[in-house]
Structure 1
């Protein structure tokens, strides 16, 4: 089975084509690019480089967040459009799951962290059981202080994601068993996303194009500003 996967949940944009257990190609940009401008050219370039047409793809995988509201909408709508146009199945996978899968077979807890602004992060906790990635917590948006409180007694915690650069010092000083992924792994690679999605599609698991929505975990900035204006929440 051959799948096309994309991740647009953060500032990085990534697309990949996987055929069973073989990565045919992957393109990633992580430099102030607008996803709405570069995503389709990235997909076209990738398919052309590996001599495939969109009709050669058997299924599609999209990131569903959490992450950038705009980026997620662009990515998921693009993949849904391709799925609808080709009548091929579609599945979405959490950005946090894909980040954790970048550290496949690590011992201890894997903790992906995405910057959610105002000292908050998007996160979840994972472990590997044999070859299987297991999520052992809910998807969360919490403060960095609360994260430290949850993990401070763990013997080994592997941090990964775009929040590591911002919070590395405080995590390292408060969690003695903390380890940090190298920079080339700190974004959700489309290949990791695709591998997880491929496994689901092979099991016959697919999503309804009309029902599938991103995982936001929190309201958008515009919604929060409106709530503050109306006195529904405090400006914290």
Structure 2
């Protein structure tokens, strides 16, 4: 199976090709350009450099959210457009599940956290089941929570944890002060979202029957957009 993966949920833009469970190409940037400027050139570049005809792609894995509303829309539109043009299925990969795959191989529970502003984070809690081929298991599905609440949930679990995601640096002091369990932060090169990880998780989800027609793919923002929140506030006033 050949998978094209797209990750655009944060400031990092990333595209990857996974061929028969081997990452044959990955292109990532963490630079001040919009994803609309970078994603398609990235995809074209990795296909060209690996001699991969885009028609040979079997599955498109898209980081579906949560994250930046604009980034998710761009990534989803790109993956959906390619899927529709090629008649290929799309698998929606929850962003935090993709992030968890960055530290595949750990025996700790994994807690990716992404900044959601105002003291809140997008967070999920996972473990790897090595009795089931290393598949990711969900302990807590990705949610919008106060950062302090995430720490409380981890203390209740009472197990060593590894953190990833763009909020780890922002909440490093809270992690160190609020947890009474052994906690570490992933290495810097594994903290941010990666398309290669989205591809690997995409295959796991596709094997569970969760790939779908490209037309069905939509981002999962986990909360209303700012415009929707402001409209709701006006209606309540």
The two structures have a TM-score, normalised by structure 2, of 0.92
Residue of structure 2 equivalent to 1:216: 221
Residue from 150, 172, 179 that aligns with 1:175: 179
Q: 1 CA distance for matches of 2:115 and 2:225?
A: 14
Q: Tell me, in whole angstroms, the C-alpha distance in 2 between the residues paired with 1:34 and 1:189.
A: 17
Post-superposition CA distance 1:124-156 (Å, at most 9, x none): 110111112101112210111211221235231
| Gap runs ≥5 in structure 1 | none
Q: Does 1:166 align with 2:152?
A: no
SS in 2 for 1:138: strand
- Cα distance in 1 for partners of 2:208, 2:97 equals 18
**Aligned partner of 1:152 among 141, 155, 158:** 155
Given the alignment, which residue of 122, 136, 143 partners 1:133? 136
Using the alignment, how far apart are the partners of 1:167 and 1:60 within structure 2? 33
List per-residue Cα deviations over 1:153-206 (Å, max 9, x = no partner): 523121110000100111111113211111111122111110121234356542
Aligned residue pairs, count:
232
| Deviation, structure 1 residue 86 | 0.9
Return the offset for 1:226: 2.4
C-alpha contact 1:14 1:29 (8 A) present in aligned 2? yes
Could you tell me whether the CA contact under 8 Å between 1:89 and 1:201 is conserved in 2? Answer: no
Which structure has the highest strand share of the two? Answer: 2
Structure 2 residue ranges without an equivalent (≥5)? none
2:20 alignment partner in structure 1:
20
What secondary structure is seen at the aligned counterpart in 1 of 2:128? strand
Q: For residue 198 of structure 1, what is the aligned residue in structure 2?
A: 203
**Which range moves more in the overlay, 154-163 or 12-21?**
154-163
TM-score normalised per structure 1 = 0.93
| Distance (whole Å) between structure 1 residues aligned to residue 213 and residue 230 of structure 2 | 32
Is residue 89–residue 214 contact of structure 2 (8 Å, CA) maintained in 1?
no
CA change 1:201–1:149 in 2 (3 A) is closer
Give me the CA root mean square deviation: 1.6
Is 2:69 the counterpart of 1:69? Answer: yes
Matched, 1:47 2:83: no
How much does 1:229 deviate? Answer: 3.1
Query: What SS does the corresponding residue of 1:38 show, helix, strand or coil?
Result: helix
